[in-house]
Structure 1
Amino acid sequence: MADEIYSFECRAKRIVTFGGGTGLSTVIGGNSQLDDWPENPFIGLKQDFPLLDVVVCTTDDGGSTGLLLQELPMIGIGDFRKLLLSLILHKNLQKLHGLDDVLTRQIIRVIHCIFNHRFPSGCRNFQHVVNPLLVVPRHLRKYCPKDLADLLSSFGRYVSPGGGGPVIAPGGHCLGNLLLTAAIFQFNGKTGSNRHPGMDAIEKGIEALAQAIGVTPGCLHPATPTPGQLVLRYSNGVAVRGQRKSAITRRLMPIDRVSVECCEVPRVSEVVCRAIREADLILFAPGSLYTSIMPILQIPPIVQAIRENHKALKILGANFWIQEGETDISRRSRDRGFRVSDLVEAYDHNIAGGSEGLFDVVLSANLEHMPGSVLRNYALEGKSPIYLDRSSVESLGVLPVEATIYSRERLNSAGVIHHDPQKFALAVRALLIAHQRLNLKQERGSLRRFSPRLMKPPRADAPLLCTYYKQIGAILAEKRFSSKTLRNTMHEMIWENRDIRIDHLKYFCGARIVPASRWTRSKEWDNVLGYYDPEDRILKVHEHANLDPERLRDNLLTALGESLLGRYLKSRHWVNPEDGLHWGARRYEIRLRPVQDRACFLDDGALRAYLRLARMLPCPHDLNTFGITLNDREGFLPPGLLFGLLYAWYLNNAYGGIMEYEMSLLRWPPDKLIPHQLEERNRKQALVRFFRNVVFQHGDE
């Protein structure tokens, strides 16, 4: 059988792969970010399937890509850099430059070094951008053909001062990303335009760089040229924007669904749609479920083309390990991470029409004989395997297949489990043979536990991220900050929490670090070190919070949230017991200003609705007075402080940690609670819904 697999002729088979991140590039041609990749670069699917089309997710917003999105109207391109390396073919390099095997290997090392070189944060020296060969060790520079060196240099000059293109300070960037950005924007028409590059400019830019380094023309495609970003919605109702947020926040809740917001209706190349319809094999590469694969399948023409192809074998590549922030909590059972059936059900739950017609087979790693020491080491990092629950997968109408698709060599040498490009390609070959003989697309009954949702198409009127970033900067520049560092911190904090609306920034006029000796805020209610002062409209943060960057951001977010209420209070006071209350009880009352004097983000109806959710009830004889009656020792968060803390918690519960305890009741299923707890849970769920729909205006589906 092994001989048959190796001899199986698959060079005429057309294959389309979807994905992003490290998983896609690894199975295509090895993980090109690894230092030892140049030692064995010509492996993986690219070697077995020359008729290969790679469709890449474009919503990445972290690292170097995130910095580019702050400055330019563009899609996320970080994964393209990885794939350009992984797609290099030996024969293409030899034909292009007339090289023997030894020189070809040396050029690979040169290209690998240039593309993966990362500039230190804050670097503004363009010397190595203008002349990329300078980042290569001296003994290797002589192997770079002059025409390649000249082309890369021309791209570098384009994004350097005086080069005619957008000037991009290199600090924090991968050099390969800068070169690819230059290649794309050279075809984008008028320099300085806020028009994002269309499909033509992106394809020409990718091709210009791809052909120069030995990548087969026309095989690498963006899922869409339309810039957009992810919206992740958790099972507690919180919805937040940005791919990176899933990794840096710890919601302790499963992701319920994912959607995409674009600046216009997302377009798809007809070349991509045709490749999908004509494919013999469609592969969803291993990778981040919600941030690498799912965004692609939010684009209707791509899903339609996949379903219209009835001949292709469709394979879902399962991940080895759960991913913290994405697949660490199952929607079906919140006390464990994902199993393979959870991956399948996630597509059912998130894609219009469910997973029907998307894949026939799920390919999973055989981890039965994994050494206990390796599993223990991964467990110490918070990682556990995604096990194949075969019967559950079969009940979903998908054929489960296990194979040894990890590298035993890397397991033995480094104690890690990574996809092995050669073994993965071999498994795909075997599945094609099995499909040819047995028809793996035969109908299997589906007993899906979840009914597919009817999803709205992606939002098509979101602002470009660079526009949002520049608007923030312009608004903050007009406000008073006690230091430039504080202004920069707030700018980056808002960028990281892009659910903050531009109109949230108009209710304060500055921010200040307050020395401990001048801190006059009462600690009767809390020990929060940041607040909004409605008298001078300043966000004030205690100097102790300034000692810890995370604590500073936490308190800035809280104060910013409080500022949205503006000057809504005319007065506040405790009602004395002798004023009519029973012994052992106390009452707190507030009186609202007239609507025109409040300077409040919330309109009158929304403000009153919020106060009720904060347990403040209107007085029957005076509708502008709200109050709450408490037992003598009962704790209480005043509505202004509660609003600020909820604002910070909603955006990032790592910042609003004070509220994580308060809101932890949402992690309990309703049927496990007694009536009093259920009532409190419902109130907190309503608060989340209020912030999602009214404050951050995500809206309901």
Structure 2
Amino acid sequence: MAGMRATELSRYVEELLEAVLNGTTPSGPDGSHGSRLVREVLSFECRSTRVVAFGGGTGLSTVVGGNSQLDDWPEAPFVGLKEEFASIDVVVCTTDDGGSTGLLLRQLPIIGIGDLRKLLLSMILRENLKTTYGLDDFKATQLAHVIHCIFNHRFPESTDETQSVSNPTLVVPGGLRGLCPEPLEGFLSALGRYVSPGGDGPTLKPGGHCLGNLLVTAAILRESRESADCPPEAAAIRKGLDMVARAIGAPPRRLHPATATPGQLVLRYGNGVAVRGQRKSALCRRKFPIDRVAVEYCGPPAVSEDLCRAIEEAELIIFAPGSVYTSLMPILQLPPIVNAIRANTRALKILGANFWIQEGETDISLRSRNRGFYVSELVEAYEQNVPGGAEGLFDVTLSANLEHVPGNVLCNYALEGKSPIYLDRDRVERLRVLPIEATIYSRRRMRLAQVIHHDPQRFALAVRTLVFAHRQFNLKPRTVASSTVVASSTDCLTTHSPPVCAGRKTAEEILAGKRFSPPGLRQTMLEVVWENRDIRMDHLKAFCGAEIVPAAAWNRSKEWDNVLGYYDPENGMLRVHEQLSDNPERLRDNLLIALGESLLGRYLESRRWVDADWGARRYEITLRPVDERGCFLGDSQLHAYLTLARMIRSPHDPRTYRITLNDQEGFLPPGLLFGLLYAWYLNNAYGAIMEYEMSVLRWPLQRLIPHQIEERRRKEALIAFFRNVVFNHPN
């Protein structure tokens, strides 16, 4: 095998994998009998192999111990990597901001909890439950079911019921409730009481929350010496997680948040738009690939020495399937972690590739806008976003072999806009990574539910086989990667952004001093600000209030537009049409447009159409004196914007700008354009209007004529203006 080329080695390992997974018989490379080789794979000792696994919630929990979010997880809770390897450290990304985790972040300066909860469940070991509570195998499985019910119970959004928080076993079905040991019941109840009304910790209302998230948060906060306004220190997070782990049967000191420092993602797209928040990557369809990802932390990100030591001593490093940009990339942008991975040249490093493209992340290729990612592009994404590139991170990519998946299943996925991530072997090999395919999906779930998901048992068995093959044949690249430690990169880390809960508190204080009609519009505005955390607090000072205007009183001229939200500079109000009252999404979109317009303040002294020669017409505006504008933009910034909006300053009057148009030529006045761009930049609001305006950005320069190239560059400059000036994103 020493002289075997990468392609030959890849094919041989795949044959061995299929034999182990499916019971076929390969031929040995040196004439040995294939069935004997399979027996050796299944019997060789690997439990002592030291493993570190990285990822986010769903993908990582699935391969470690089964997807603990699924209702049927209690049917087989003791599967996956944890059953093959006794020494496994699990590293979780902490920048999630959706669902129950997002609700916690609104109130507390804390890292993302939801994915930690999922892994605590998936890491539960039968032997730990048996030893801790004196159970047999059957009762240990039943107790895992009880814990699953408690930790995954989700309260309705509107509920104020706190009894189940202070007594968590109440959410367990009656037939199982009596199976919870008294010590565990007492421990969970103590955590619940800590965050319930009258408890010693902050009161966390249960509405919309996952009960397990509340309990894990309580465990951490209870150990913290910091005030409720400061992030819990790393030691408190460590102690809180370990206490929960011991109580529910997971191994202590094996679950690691990538960092104990709260932070939020910043995603920058190929069109130059940069927005904050992981949840937005899934909700906003930008129609552009992600160009770069970074994280803003509220302080220097703390990475534990125990975690770095585990990476240094690992013999196997696994990057679990999952969200490339929002689950794995943030971890690898932490210099202590990525440096430790590179420095460990002994470990076999496996990148688990996703089965399907993911909307908002891998659905648009950087090489071809007409398709999703290939496996090689997963590797290249790390090259572009990790300090020092992908060098020394991966030895093997493990992909799903979908060759025998029924066509109707693939068609169902295609109808949902999902296509497989294709393994382009030659290009992966050129990146000095060994491409491997195997049937690592759950055939049972495919047969019953017509879906393709990772099977934790098959994935773990595939990893076992790769470890065996590596010991026999060496799966590392023939040219050994450099172990040079890469210096910290300031491109990936910003350490001056406060916790997101602080921004929400400031927004509440600012909005409390404004008039809203009806009063419930204040809460809607607060939600708009939370969902679009690029809105600066200074933006909220540009208006006096917001109101829904009855149709009979709507006097907005349609000469300029038919948008149903605008800023009235005469009274400083954001005004939206009552027609939007029953359409929350459009109401929020129009509030954003009006908020954007408010940043220009009372900048106009007058505006007018002037007839010009040859059937043309001229649109002119005259600005107020600088000290009368109440404009968010300074004089030079306003001039830069108006120039980008195609307005030309008069040589005779520096406060007058004009544009000459053909009689039938369309035009967006600068105030409306500013509001539409503001909303579009944040969340694609009024996307149809602005997507048309920005469509030239999707064409490569070499396919455009000079006029279109000039227009494209103007649009790129507009986006850069909003990114740098309006939203103050660092380049």
Q: TM-score when scaled to structure 2?
A: 0.93
Q: Does 1:350 align with 2:350?
A: no
Cα offset for 1:302? 0.6
Alignment of 1:468-487 (within 5 A): 468-487=503-522
Alignment of 1:337-486 (within 5 A): 337-444=372-479, 456-486=491-521
Q: Does 1:13 align with 2:11?
A: no
Alignment partner, residue 152 of structure 1: 188
The question of whether the paired residues in 1 share the 8 Å contact of 2:108 and 2:228 is answered with no
Alignment partner, residue 630 of structure 1: 661
Alignment partner, residue 706 of structure 2: 675
State the Cα deviation string for residues 638-688 of structure 1 (Å, max 9, x = none).
100000000000001144442121112111111111111111111111100
The question of whether the paired residues in 1 share the 8 Å contact of 2:442 and 2:453 is answered with yes
Alignment partner, residue 324 of structure 2: 289
State the Cα deviation string for residues 349-398 of structure 1 (Å, max 9, x = none).
11111000111111111112221100000111111100111001111111
Amino acid at match of 2:214: L
Match of 2:614 among 573, 583, 586: 583
CA distance in 2 between partners of 1:237 and 1:503 (Å): 23
Alignment partner, residue 558 of structure 1: 593
The question of whether the paired residues in 1 share the 8 Å contact of 2:54 and 2:90 is answered with yes
Alignment partner, residue 36 of structure 1: 72
The question of whether the paired residues in 2 share the 8 Å contact of 1:554 and 1:656 is answered with no
Alignment partner, residue 225 of structure 2: 189
The question of whether the paired residues in 2 share the 8 Å contact of 1:57 and 1:222 is answered with yes
The question of whether the paired residues in 1 share the 8 Å contact of 2:623 and 2:655 is answered with yes
Amino acid at match of 2:597: E
Aligned-partner SS, 1:544: helix
Cα offset for 1:65? 0.1
Cα offset for 1:455? 6.0
Alignment partner, residue 449 of structure 1: none
State the Cα deviation string for residues 476-503 of structure 1 (Å, max 9, x = none).
1110000232111110111010000011
CA distance in 2 between partners of 1:56 and 1:601 (Å): 40
Alignment partner, residue 165 of structure 1: 201
Q: Does 1:662 align with 2:697?
A: no
Cα offset for 1:317? 0.4
Q: Does 1:549 align with 2:584?
A: yes
Q: Does 1:2 align with 2:38?
A: yes
The question of whether the paired residues in 1 share the 8 Å contact of 2:243 and 2:252 is answered with no
State the Cα deviation string for residues 514-563 of structure 1 (Å, max 9, x = none).
00100111001211000000110000001112221111011000000000
State the Cα deviation string for residues 247-304 of structure 1 (Å, max 9, x = none).
0001011000100000011010000000001100111000001110001111111111
Cα offset for 1:8? 1.6
Q: Does 1:516 align with 2:551?
A: yes
The question of whether the paired residues in 2 share the 8 Å contact of 1:224 and 1:266 is answered with yes
The question of whether the paired residues in 2 share the 8 Å contact of 1:59 and 1:229 is answered with yes
The question of whether the paired residues in 1 share the 8 Å contact of 2:312 and 2:343 is answered with yes
The question of whether the paired residues in 2 share the 8 Å contact of 1:553 and 1:655 is answered with no
CA distance in 2 between partners of 1:318 and 1:68 (Å): 31
The question of whether the paired residues in 1 share the 8 Å contact of 2:269 and 2:289 is answered with yes
Alignment partner, residue 8 of structure 2: none
Match of 1:117 among 120, 136, 153: 153
CA distance in 2 between partners of 1:433 and 1:655 (Å): 55
Cα offset for 1:460? 0.2
Cα offset for 1:445? 9.7
CA distance in 1 between partners of 2:57 and 2:434 (Å): 26
Structure 1 stretch 592-601 or stretch 261-270: which is displaced more? Answer: 592-601
CA distance in 2 between partners of 1:696 and 1:242 (Å): 14
Aligned-partner SS, 1:520: coil
CA distance in 2 between partners of 1:380 and 1:300 (Å): 41
Aligned-partner SS, 2:380: helix
Amino acid at match of 1:659: M
Alignment partner, residue 256 of structure 1: 291
Amino acid at match of 2:194: Y
Q: Does 1:305 align with 2:340?
A: yes
CA distance in 1 between partners of 2:576 and 2:730 (Å): 32
Q: TM-score when scaled to structure 1?
A: 0.97
Match of 1:610 among 634, 641, 652: 641
Q: Does 1:242 align with 2:277?
A: yes
CA distance in 2 between partners of 1:337 and 1:269 (Å): 36
Cα offset for 1:443? 2.6
CA distance in 2 between partners of 1:546 and 1:193 (Å): 37
The question of whether the paired residues in 1 share the 8 Å contact of 2:433 and 2:477 is answered with no
Match of 1:98 among 119, 127, 134: 134
Match of 1:645 among 654, 657, 676: 676
Cα offset for 1:699? 2.4
Q: Does 1:528 align with 2:563?
A: yes
Match of 1:177 among 192, 210, 213: 213
CA distance in 1 between partners of 2:516 and 2:643 (Å): 35
CA distance in 2 between partners of 1:458 and 1:445 (Å): 29
Counterparts in 2 of 1:48 and 1:127: CA distance versus 1, 3 Å: same
Q: Does 1:690 align with 2:688?
A: no
Alignment partner, residue 241 of structure 2: 206
Amino acid at match of 1:124: D
Unaligned runs of 5+ in 2: 1-36, 482-486
CA distance in 1 between partners of 2:543 and 2:432 (Å): 55
Q: Does 1:336 align with 2:371?
A: yes
State the Cα deviation string for residues 305-356 of structure 1 (Å, max 9, x = none).
1111110011100000000111000001110001101101100011111000
Amino acid at match of 1:231: V
Cα offset for 1:439? 1.5
Cα offset for 1:193? 2.8
Amino acid at match of 1:46: K
CA distance in 2 between partners of 1:619 and 1:332 (Å): 44
Alignment partner, residue 23 of structure 1: 59
Structure 1 stretch 437-446 or stretch 216-225: which is displaced more? Answer: 437-446
CA distance in 2 between partners of 1:139 and 1:440 (Å): 50
Aligned-partner SS, 1:244: helix
Cα offset for 1:453? 13
CA distance in 2 between partners of 1:145 and 1:483 (Å): 51
Structure 1 stretch 4-13 or stretch 527-536: which is displaced more? Answer: 4-13
Q: Does 1:567 align with 2:598?
A: no
The question of whether the paired residues in 2 share the 8 Å contact of 1:351 and 1:453 is answered with no
Q: Does 1:221 align with 2:252?
A: no
CA distance in 1 between partners of 2:49 and 2:143 (Å): 30
Structure 1 stretch 591-600 or stretch 172-181: which is displaced more? Answer: 591-600
The question of whether the paired residues in 2 share the 8 Å contact of 1:397 and 1:445 is answered with no
Match of 2:90 among 34, 44, 54: 54
The question of whether the paired residues in 2 share the 8 Å contact of 1:349 and 1:453 is answered with no
Amino acid at match of 1:375: L
Alignment partner, residue 355 of structure 2: 320
CA distance in 1 between partners of 2:336 and 2:374 (Å): 29
Aligned-partner SS, 1:461: coil
Amino acid at match of 2:145: R
CA distance in 2 between partners of 1:418 and 1:316 (Å): 17
Aligned-partner SS, 1:680: helix
Amino acid at match of 1:329: I
Question: Once superposed, what is the RMSD of the aligned Cα atoms?
Answer: 1.3
